[in-house]
Amino acid sequence: MKNILKNTQSIKAWATHMFDKTNRNKLFKNTSILMACISLTACYQTYNPPANLDINKPLYKNAHPIKITKGKQEIDFNLPKSTGGLTPNQVANSANFILDYMDKGEGLLEIWMPRGNLNKTAIKNAHLKIRAIIRDASIPASVISYNKYDAYGDTQAPIGMKFDRLYAKVKKCGGFSKNLAINHDNENYKSFGCATQTNLALMVSNPRDLLGRTNMSAASAERRQIIWTKYIRGQATGASKSAEDKASVKDVSK
């Protein structure tokens, strides 16, 4: 009887020990999970972007925006007395300048002539040549502005042209004073993307394209009438191909 009671007490003690051990394991496991969750929440930070930040743009476009400004484009021609007018190179430069006005110009095309210049013949001939180039370019007279300035007897006083146009510009790049290897916030450095934005501003043909799309030119009324007539008659509206234009895979493989 004593042996049975002793065995019963031993079993009870063992069960109590195992129960306490299981609870300790559960407690340790739950505590570990809780500590892991606290550690993760400590790493979480809420990012509040600036009020003027456009989240649809990359950050470098906000940091280095391309700004469209209005300025003058001008060209001057010095006319030595021996030339009697514009040289061939000056004529070509005049034509290119006028083409730039037609493509990018805003407002009037200004022509500036010296007053009181002793080289009157060369100035007059150059003026007539510039007007001829403008006339050949079909630029209406209403957008041409003729102006004079005082030359005070200077024989080298130039004749010039100028017009308003748009320029695409980016602020000067720089700001490499900080060590780029140390970046605890993992953010772009100050001048990141500045060179790309500057190159784009310099390469764009017409800065107005950066402001929005341009309107399409009107369709050819003559060609539209031809296509419509063919459609009414039930004819093919596509352009006919000659024998030279036709080709097959067999011909290409030869």
Number of domains the chain contains: 2
Beta strand pairing status for 105-115 and 67-77? unpaired
Q: Does 25 have pLDDT greater than 80?
A: no
More confident residue, 99 or 45: 99
Q: Pick the range with the lowest mean pLDDT from 9-13, 124-128, 157-161.
A: 9-13
**Domain presence at residue 190:** no
- Which pLDDT score, from 0 to 100, does residue 50 have? 60
Give dist(CA 246, CA 254) in Å, integer: 15
SS3 label, residue 205:
coil
Is the domain of 76 the same as that of 40?
no
Q: Say yes or no to pLDDT of 5 above 60.
A: no
With cut-offs at 50, 70 and 90, classify the pLDDT of residue 184. Answer: confident
Does the pLDDT of residue 152 top 60, yes or no?
yes
Please check whether residues 36 and 120 belong to one and the same domain.
no
> In the prediction, which pLDDT does 100 show?
92
pLDDT of residue 2: 45
Q: Residue 234: is its pLDDT beyond 70?
A: yes
Residue 75 confidence (pLDDT): 94
For residue 37, being part of any structural domain is answered with yes
Residue 137 clears pLDDT 80, i.e. is over it: yes
Whether the Cβ atoms of residue 75 and residue 125 lie closer than 8 Å to each other: no
Residue 124 belongs to a domain: yes
Within a domain: 107: yes
* Residues 13, 78 within the same domain: no
Task: Indicate whether 24 and 83 sit together in one domain.
Answer: no
Residues 24 and 89 in one domain: no
- Last residue of some domain: 108, 136, 169? 169
Instruction: Give the mean pLDDT of the chain.
Output: 78
In CATH, what number is assigned to the domain containing residue 95? 3.30.1330.60
Last residue of a domain, one of 169, 203, 233: 169
Do residues 87 and 148 both lie within one domain?
Answer: yes
pLDDT for 14: 47
Number of neighbouring beta carbons within 10 Å of residue 243: 6
Q: How many helical (H) and strand (E) elements, i.e. helices and strands, does the chain have? A: 7, 4
pLDDT at 10: 55
Domain that holds residue 12: 1-45
Q: Is residue 198 part of a domain?
A: no
pLDDT, tens digit, 9 for 90 and up, residues 81-103: 777 889 999 999 999 999 999 98
| Structural domain includes residue 227 | no
Read off the pLDDT of each residue in 112-122 and give the average, rounded to a whole number.
84
Q: What is the pLDDT of residue 213?
A: 79
Last residue of a domain, one of 118, 153, 169: 169
pTM > 0.75: no
Quick: pLDDT tens for 195-226.
Answer: 889 999 989 888 888 888 777 777 777 788 88
**Which of 39-53, 131-145, 172-186 has the weakest average pLDDT?**
39-53
Let me know if residue 38 belongs to a domain: yes
Cα dihedral sign for 161, 164, 170, 172?
Answer: positive
175-202: b or e for each residue (b if 16 or more CB lie within 10 Å)? Answer: eeeeeeeeeeeeeeeebbbbeebbeebe
Same domain, 90 and 149: yes
- Tell me if 51 is assigned to some domain: no
pLDDT, position 6:
47
